[in-house]
A and B are shown apart, each in its own frame.
Chain A
């Protein structure tokens, strides 16, 4: 085969890899359709969309940068307070209280804090990283508790009233616009993340996660790339927290609690690490299970959740998306 023809073949192979596939398009259409099909559940869907964005942010850190973080909730909480405080401070002043500005502010604050802490996190190996991320999250939780003059302490931050989205849409009582707002933010940031992981930079992250020794040997500045990924993940988590503050008009200390970090880790592993979509599917599955199991067995729902997690991790590689891929392989194998 001539090199020229093979180059064209290689270029179309790269293009094909990045193509949007129909299940992806179907997923997004379905997500928007939900609000029409089940308008009464919009508040729940809004929670799922926020959780999905939070999970996507952890997937960038865990699935692409390979940093195991037990304190990712710190950025979620920080983003919630940042957006909440900005909305309070700018109440009534049209451009300042615009929710989109709140998102940007939360992203900048969390990106900045993420960048600074990334140097601490990257100093050690896995166990050290786990402890550093956990420690940073604990510090933030205690700071929010002590700085009651700013955060409202245990009473929470009240009176968070963002104005109309882009001056056009109001947050309604049923959460319809809230869901559409969160979903659209999720979609836009997802498209951006998808673009980034398919870039040369994204490829280098995969390389570092795959084999750091070789990555260094071909000249990849490993730590600088990971600093950037951690910063991006922190900014994304901040936006997710900001969405929660804006759509619920309230921020409580709960946003910084440990269970947020643990839940989101569980969701990403549940859905499939390092796929981006796994984070969304995981968030939806987690909320659905909670909804169904908590209604059926209010006391024991965590038992069933735990059981499902253990089975999935032990018997299927790559979470729910891994399971789907395996089933598709089996079916394709039977067809032949």
Chain B
């Protein structure tokens, strides 16, 4: 299978700390991949290297066959790499409607148009509305983002990343901080994303990981520790070793596929 996103010997150091240590990684089209690892394993640093928020110390990032190592985040986004953030990064003064409208107009290359009022292209507004409805934000589309409940903001964080129809979507702990009852909804939304979109989920919650992922990479100390199918990784004794003591995770390793 062709890789839509790959890294070659990726390294990132912060002073004496090596946060990403020689990671070579490849993501096929339509992947359902989870990136796991104990706290401080360098998961978010790795995502920041992929999305261009951070520049690597050495190594390469290849997106859709092109070497994008030197590209800033905005160019990677336009080339089809989208992401959500662990901590919501939204426009507090916007409405969800404006937020998604903006994401779409940028994706369509209309973002620099200064001669027309925003919201005059019916097809764009229509697309924005249907995305908002699909993510259960239709009823609040005219409310101020900053005053939305946290769960809704979390959904908008996903909506804004999904709107441009990316080739690769990096989901950095999409359910972080979301109350138990609403996690299900986020999982359903992720499950309903287009099959050809390659998804990478960074997550602590092992139940979520095993319900979602077909393949898993385990990151430990900044390096790739184990890589394989979900069931292989679940059975791997070394992985269990790393997670020893974290009883909840242990429980899920005993029952790969998760409790459903």
- A: which residues have CB within 8 A of B? 1, 3-4, 6-7, 10-11, 13-15, 17-18, 195-196, 198-204, 206-207, 210-211, 213-222, 224-225, 228
A3-B129, A11-B125, A210-B93 are contacts. A203–B117 as well, Cβ < 8 Å?
no
Contact residues of A: prevailing secondary structure? helix
Which 8 pairs, one residue from A and one from B, show the smallest C-beta to C-beta distance? Answer: A14-B119, A219-B77, A201-B114, A214-B89, A219-B78, A210-B91, A216-B73, A199-B114
Chain B residues with CB under 8 A of A228:
112
Chain A residues with CB under 8 A of B116:
199-200
Chain A residues with CB under 8 A of B52:
216
A-B contact pairs, 19 of them (CB 8 A): A6-B138, A10-B119, A11-B120, A13-B97, A14-B119, A195-B114, A199-B118, A200-B118, A203-B102, A211-B91, A211-B92, A214-B89, A217-B73, A217-B77, A218-B77, A218-B107, A218-B164, A219-B78, A220-B74
Nearest chain B CB to A1's CB is how many angstroms away?
A: 7
Hey, what's the 0/1 contact readout for B56-97 against A, CB within 8 Å counting as 1?
A: 000000000000000011110110001101000111111001
Q: How far is the CA of A148 from the CA of B171 in the complex (A)?
A: 62
Asked if B103 lies at the interface with its beta carbon under 8 angstroms from chain A, I say yes
B74 touches A206 (CB 8 A): no
- Nearest B residue (CB) for A197: B114
Chain B residues with CB under 8 A of A11:
119-120, 122, 125
Q: How far is the CA of A198 from the CA of B122 in the complex (A)?
A: 17
Q: How large is the interface on B (under 10, 10 to 19, 20 to 34, 35 or more residues)?
A: 35 or more
Nearest chain A CB to B85's CB is how many angstroms away?
A: 8
Nearest chain B CB to A227's CB is how many angstroms away?
A: 11
B118 touches A7 (CB 8 A): no
Cβ-defined partner of B113 (8 Å) among A4, A199, A219, A224 = A199
Chain B residues with CB under 8 A of A207:
91, 94, 102
Name which of A4, A14, A17 has the most chain B CB atoms within 10 A of its CB: A14
A3 touches B126 (CB 8 A): yes
Chain B residues with CB under 8 A of A216:
52-53, 72-74, 77
A11-B119, A202-B118 are contacts. A1–B138 as well, Cβ < 8 Å?
yes
A216-B77, A218-B106 are contacts. A15–B119 as well, Cβ < 8 Å?
yes
- Nearest A residue (CB) for B116: A199
Nearest chain A CB to B48's CB is how many angstroms away?
A: 10
A213 touches B114 (CB 8 A): no
Cβ-defined partner of B125 (8 Å) among A7, A18, A196, A213 = A7
B111 touches A211 (CB 8 A): no
Nearest chain A CB to B125's CB is how many angstroms away?
A: 5
Q: How far is the CA of A3 from the CA of B52 in the complex (A)?
A: 36
Q: How far is the CA of A218 from the CA of B73 in the complex (A)?
A: 9
Hey, what's the 0/1 contact readout for B99-139 against A, CB within 8 Å counting as 1?
A: 00111011100111111111110100110111001000010
Q: How far is the CA of A202 from the CA of B117 in the complex (A)?
A: 9
B138 touches A211 (CB 8 A): no
Chain A residues with CB under 8 A of B175:
none
Cβ-defined partner of B117 (8 Å) among A3, A13, A18, A222 = A18
Asked if B209 lies at the interface with its beta carbon under 8 angstroms from chain A, I say no
Nearest chain B CB to A63's CB is how many angstroms away?
A: 12
Nearest chain B CB to A304's CB is how many angstroms away?
A: 33
Cβ-defined partner of A201 (8 Å) among B75, B77, B107, B111 = B111
Asked if B98 lies at the interface with its beta carbon under 8 angstroms from chain A, I say yes
Q: Which of B17-45 contact A (CB under 8 A)?
A: none
- Nearest B residue (CB) for A204: B111
Q: How far is the CA of A18 from the CA of B53 in the complex (A)?
A: 34
A206-B94, A207-B102, A218-B77 are contacts. A14–B129 as well, Cβ < 8 Å?
no
